[in-house]
Amino acid sequence: MRLETARKIIPDLYEKIASQSPPHHFEFSDPFWVLITTILSHRTRDEVTDSASRKLYEKYGNAQNLSDADYEEVRSLISRVGFSSVKASRVIEAARIVVNDFGGKVPASIDLLMTIPGVGRKTANVVLSDSLGVPAIAVDTHVQRISRRIGLSPYNDPEKTEERLRKIVPEDIWIGFNPTLVEFGKHVCKPVKPLCGSCRISSYCEYFASNVKKRNRE
């Protein structure tokens, strides 16, 4: 899809996506705990991630306490998340960096956030947009899949997709863009068997045009 076309359809497209997406559940609003939750979330179901981060919060309460935590104790608390052994070290180290390098306050800078081990662009953008109110577009698996299916981005690389989306999505909807598409991806534009027949954006969607409509004609 051409950039000019994408820019023209985005407002109506996003409105229709939002109308099909339930409110996104945020376990925390505090930037530090959003950071920890997002680090834990990689390759882990949301409900498992939320439960693990809640256990850490209830046990430690703040960055200082988590920075001093025992590794084995942390690993036990988050044992159900994917790669828990690695992530236990990462959340402790993230807490130490926030305390020692940033004075206990999560920085509102993507470059500074990405100095924390385990924090890539997606995690940093989630923290910026979902807890610090800084306009950013986080490209996770849902945003990547949906952007490719609709035709908003031709890329498989999330960073290239982010760059493309930043060119076509109005900045005033960057905050909320990721959570809205996440819920759309969970409930409508699913990885397997997307609900194309009842989707309200099928008239814009390249996946629908090339797959569903084609099958219906055969």
Question: Alpha-carbon distance 70 to 102, whole Å?
Answer: 22
Decide: helix, strand or coil at residue 159: helix
Q: What are the structure tokens assigned to 197, written together?
A: 């027949």
pLDDT grade, residue 169 (50/70/90)?
very high
- Residue-range domains of the chain with CATH: 3-23+138-217 (1.10.1670.10), 31-131 (1.10.340.30)
Look at residue 210 in the predicted model and tell me its pLDDT: 87
Known catalytic residue at 12: no
Distance CA 216, CA 153 (A): 25
Closest CA to 14 of 144, 162, 152, 123: 152
Q: State residue 192 phi and psi, 5-degree precision.
A: -120, 135
- pLDDT tens string 17-53: 999 999 999 999 999 999 999 999 998 999 999 999 9
Catalytic residue among 46, 140, 190, 193: 140
| Side chain identity, residue 151 | G
Tokens at residue 99, please? 């305390």
How far apart (Å, rounded) are the C-alpha atoms in residues 67 and 71?
10
- Residues 70-92 have pLDDT tens digits of 999 999 999 999 999 999 999 99
**Among residues 122, 167, 190, 214, which one is catalytic?**
122
Place of tokens 């046990």: 59
122 given a catalytic annotation = yes
The confidence score (pLDDT) of residue 211 equals 80
Please state the pTM of the whole predicted model.
Answer: 0.92
Give mean pLDDT, residues 173-198. 96
